[in-house]
Amino acid sequence: MLALVTGPVLADWGLLNMREGVTSTSHAVHDLHMIILWVCVAIGIVVFGAMIYAMFRHRKSKGSVAAQFHESTTMEVIWTIIPIMILVSMAIPATKTLLAMEDTGEADMTIKVTGIQWKWKYDYIDGEAAGISFISSLHPDHNSARLLGASRDTDVLRKQFGDTYLREVDNPLVIPTGKKVRFLFTAADVIHSWWVPDLGWKKDAIPGFVNESWTRVDKPGIYRGKCAELCGKDHGFMPIVVVAMASDDYEAWVAQQKGSAEQAAAAADKTWSKEDLIARGQDVYRTNCAACHQVNGKGLPPAFPALAGNAILNDGDASRHIETVMNGRPGTAMAAYRGLLNDVDLAAVITYERNTWGNDGGVVQPADIKVAR
Amino acid sequence: MSTATATYDEHHEHGPDKGLIRWITTTNHKDIGTLYLVFALIMFFIGGAMAMVIRAELFQPGMQLVDPQFFNSMTTVHALVMIFGAVMPAFTGLANWLIPMMIGAPDMALPRMNNLSFWILPFAFTLLLSTFFMDGGGPAGGWTLYPPLALQMGDGFPFMIFAIHLAGISSIMGSINVIVTILNMRAPGMTLMKMPLFVWTWLITAYLLIATMPVLAGAVTMLLTDKFAGTSFFNAAGGGDPVMYQHIFWFFGHPEVYILILPAFGIISAIVPTFARKPLFGYSSMVYATASIAFLSFIVWAHHMFTVGMPVVGELFFMYATMMIAVPTGVKVFNWVSTMWKGAMTFETPMLFAIGFIMMFTIGGFSGLMLAIAPADFQYHDTYFVVAHFHYVLVTGAIYSIMAATYYWLPKWTGNMYDERLGKIHFWLSTISVNVLFFPQHFLGLAGMPRRIPDYSVQFADWNMVSSIGGFVFGASQLLFLWMVIKAIRGGEKASDQVWEGANGLEWTLPSPPPYHSFTEAPAIK
């Protein structure tokens, strides 16, 4: 037991307290946290000290005889006024920090963040990266390690993933250092909350709303976080990774992203073979669909219906299938993938679903999706 | 002021019916109090079993025992059962047993409604728990039922909503009864400012319940129509507003927090003077502090929502208002400490639990003050720091006060002393383990672990394991409490009428156990 208690303490003091983080906001928040913590500790010492003193000195077994005093307006006034003064002195720095945190003006660039069960979508709205858009989900290796019964041993997880277990994504968010980045938050289905402790705050992503926040990271590095608002079954498995890059690296990353976007556009114009679509569709399915409909296509009825043997998928006319995937099913957990996946990925995943688990529903080409849009 | 002496007729002299029918048809405040307390104890163990599932899954990283959906329904139903099934009925049970005896009344004012308000509860919670066996499973969107997530629930959704409606109706009826009893049935001379603080805190709690339960009922009814009638109250795509639900919910939810703690303040204010053998310090300031807390509880709700994107003026208002609550709460703690000061203290089990309450509730109050600082809350919100905070105020606050009350009044109720040695073992085991359970959760939250997740990164592994071990020991310790209660009901050293040397109040003037009807003639008030 003692080893258990002292173990983590010796291992890492940083695991006991709030992280200082890497932004001016996170430093200000950390300072506020430390002030209020020490204020509480000081009050605690006085109050608990008095209690403990009384418990040892004023006990019957020590022959203490009870006094009969039972009120004092002076005392009541004193212990009303002093806490109010302490609170006011706390409120002043807290107000200053809050006002600075909420000032999203004069940003250098804007990124829109959309929470989706259970991944994040990032759209670069303006600046040199304008138009870049991608989805960021839990890394596939972590996704298989977190399945029920997959890993029974902490040491195995530690060896395989180090400190990043469940904190690694396929496509991290990349931001430039030294720039004020404004974030816009919204959600496609339920409420999520975007939280990277090193940036110093979290903000809810709410369907139908746009929230704002900002950060400026000066030190290049990888900063990790998680969804903080319960958002359904896989709430625990939608991490956030922010990579802050110096401007050269950032520009190279932007160029590379734009290049692959062009390739994707070209890919949407050609006719694909069934095998290529299925191969690509499998990856898309694993990342986007398998959480609910399961890798084996059996789903988790009734909330998440089976795709294996599903009539809509085996119909010679694929239009209902395309319609469901693109627009979702209102009133159910089925999300609209129209804005989340490109034409190729939509065609690939639909073709994959129509030709796997015994289904036989034919091929859907990116051109068919373009028509459906 | 009216009196309780008037209607004395032969009919009231008979004792209870025999067997099961006594408990079904009873209109007696003591029987109904017992029913409430037994029901609360059963729910405490059901909700506790769910907590054990949660801590077992979190014992180490990786998914070992349950799937994520079931894990979410465990956290959700654990909260619903503990709040609406354990703590609130336990306080209502104590109110039923104690308020008539404390104010010198023969019974509660509305005995038939009293019976109904209890007997709704088993049905409500059968409905709630039955959702586990329906397609889609139990509620898994968190006890706050935030839309749109809550609307994704399967077939059990309407059953859960109706269960909440029923529990709310039960609470409202119970509260009406408490208010009517206190305002109309006090013995002559028992002026408001002579009432024991437990009666005062319950009077204020009852008003909070009547004011906020209909708000909750309205919110969940709107969820129901959103799901089945396409009303879009909380659906932005239909012109509604998902954040509006949170405002409505927390307008109920924050006063609810004080519903869960004000009666506890009353209990502690009864126990500390008894074992310090000294009158309560600052009685009237305690009453005013309780009323201030109740008032403030209505204007702080959005501190649960600092991260939803409010205008900065709103955030400042709710931050300042929330910080103000520390003042009257501080007054209470200072008054209790002053009551102990220069007393002649002994430390029987009720006093141990009361002191445990004061210390650990204060720790929960400190973390509450930290959470009130809006910029810092942007880090704390929805992490294990919050989980640690509200378990310090609810487990070592509300539940410790209920334990303290049970030890304190059980000899009066049963006529038998409980086993003091067992009680002390229960206290020390619980107090050590509950801190091993919840204190490390502060560290986890600060280090970055969100709440309501079934699996976590390996750097959180050590403290989670410590916390789980504390949880298992705390859970097992409560079996001692059950055994202590059963033992005291079945027999033991006979308790005197006074029971405790320093006890003051009308309930101690009655025999132990008290007669079936408490005061058939109004007692004289000094």
Q: How far apart are CA B139 and CA B70, in angstroms?
A: 9
pLDDT-derived band at A4 (thresholds 50, 70, 90) equals very low
Task: Find all residues with CB under 8 Å of A162, minimum gap 6, and list them.
Answer: B458
Any chain A CB within 8 A of the CB of B373? yes
Contact status, residue A118 vs residue A291, Cβ threshold 8 Å: yes
How confident is the model over B403-439, as pLDDT tens digits? 999 999 999 999 999 999 999 999 999 999 999 999 9
A87-91, A281-285, B96-100: least confident range = A281-285
CB-CB neighbors (< 8 A) of B460 in chain A = 15
Edge-to-edge strands, sheet with A133-136:
A133-136, A119-124, A109-116, A181-187, A211-215
Catalytic pick among B76, B212, B329, B401 = B329
- State pLDDT tens for residues A122-157: 999 998 899 899 999 999 888 888 887 776 688 888
Q: Which residues does chain B have within 8 Å of residue A95's beta carbon, measured at their own beta carbons?
A: 316, 319
- Indicate yes or no: CB of B152 within 8 angstroms of CB of A232: yes
d(CA B87, CA A128): 57
Predicted local confidence at residue B5, as pLDDT = 46
- Full-model pTM: 0.90
The token pair that represents B39 in the structure block:
């029901």
Cβ burial of A259 (10 Å; 0-12, 13-18, 19+) is: exposed
- pLDDT(A220) > 80: yes
- Is B400:B357 a contact under the CB 8 Å cutoff? yes
What's the per-residue H, E or C state across B178-210? HHHHHHHCCCCCCCHHHCCHHHHHHHHHHHHHH
CATH architecture of the domain covering A109-261: Sandwich (2.60)
Q: Is the per-residue pLDDT at B387 higher than 90?
A: yes
Burial class (CB in 10 A: 0-12, 13-18, 19+), B520: middle
- How far B471 CA sits from the closest chain A CA (Å)? 14
Determine the residue type at A73: T
Question: How many C-alpha atoms does A229 have within 13 Å on its Cβ side?
Answer: 29
Beta bridge partners of A111: A124, A183
The band of B364, judged by pLDDT with boundaries at 50, 70 and 90, is very high
What pLDDT sits at residue A6?
45
Does residue A114 surpass a pLDDT of 90?
A: yes
Q: Which of A2-11, B382-391, B502-511 has the lowest mean pLDDT?
A: A2-11
CB proximity B364 to A under 8 Å: no
Q: Note whether B141 and B150 are within 8 A (CB).
A: yes
Band the pLDDT of B14: cuts 50, 70, 90.
low
Contact map slice: B 141-200 vs A, CB within 8 A: 141-142, 146, 148-149, 151-152, 154-155
The pLDDT assigned to B9 comes to 46
pLDDT tens per residue, range B444-465: 999 999 999 999 999 899 999 9
In tens, the pLDDT along B278-291 reads 999 999 999 999 99
Q: What is the ipTM of this complex?
A: 0.90
B14 is catalytic: no
What CATH code would you report for A268-372? 1.10.760.10
Q: Which positions in chain A touch B347 (Cβ < 8 Å)? A: 55, 59
Q: pLDDT by residue (tens digit) across A296-326?
A: 888 887 778 888 888 888 887 888 888 888 8
Question: Does residue A229 surpass a pLDDT of 50?
Answer: yes
What pLDDT shows up at residue A16?
A: 87
| Helix B283-296, helix B197-228: angle, nearest 10 | 10
Model confidence band, residue A38 (pLDDT cutoffs 50, 70, 90): very high
A183: chain B residues, CB-CB within 8 Å: none
Q: Is B143 known to be catalytic?
A: yes
Using CA atoms, how far apart are residues B87 and A277, in angstroms rounded to an integer? 57
Q: How does pLDDT run across A58-103, given as a tens digit for each residue?
A: 999 988 888 888 889 999 999 999 999 999 999 999 999 999 998 8
The CA distance from B275 to B352, in Å, is 10
Is residue B67 annotated as a catalytic residue, yes or no? no
* B254 labelled catalytic: yes
Cβ pair B387, B79 in contact under 8 A: no
Instruction: Tell me if residue B170 is catalytic.
Output: yes
List pLDDT tens digits, range B137-172: 999 999 999 999 999 998 999 999 999 999 999 999
Quote the minimal CA–CA distance from A258 to chain B in Å.
32
Q: What would the two tokens of residue B204 be?
A: 């204020």
Q: Token pair 């509950």 is at which residue? A: B434
Q: How confident is the model at residue A13 (pLDDT cuts 50, 70, 90)?
A: low
Give the 3-state secondary structure of residue B467.
helix
* Spatial distance between the Cα atoms of B48 and B429, rounded to a whole number of angstroms: 16
Let me know if B256 is a catalytic residue.
yes
Per-residue confidence (pLDDT) for residue A14, from 0 to 100? 67
Q: How far apart, in whole angstroms, are the C-alpha atoms of residue B475 and residue B44?
A: 10
Active-site choice (B30, B165, B278, B304): B304
- Convert the pLDDT of each residue in B255-283 to its tens digit: 999 999 999 999 999 999 999 999 999 99
Residues in chain A within 8 Å Cβ distance of B370: 33, 36-37, 40
pLDDT at res. A2: 43
Contact A70 B69 (CB under 8 A): no
**Active-site residue identified among B34, B73, B76, B170:** B170
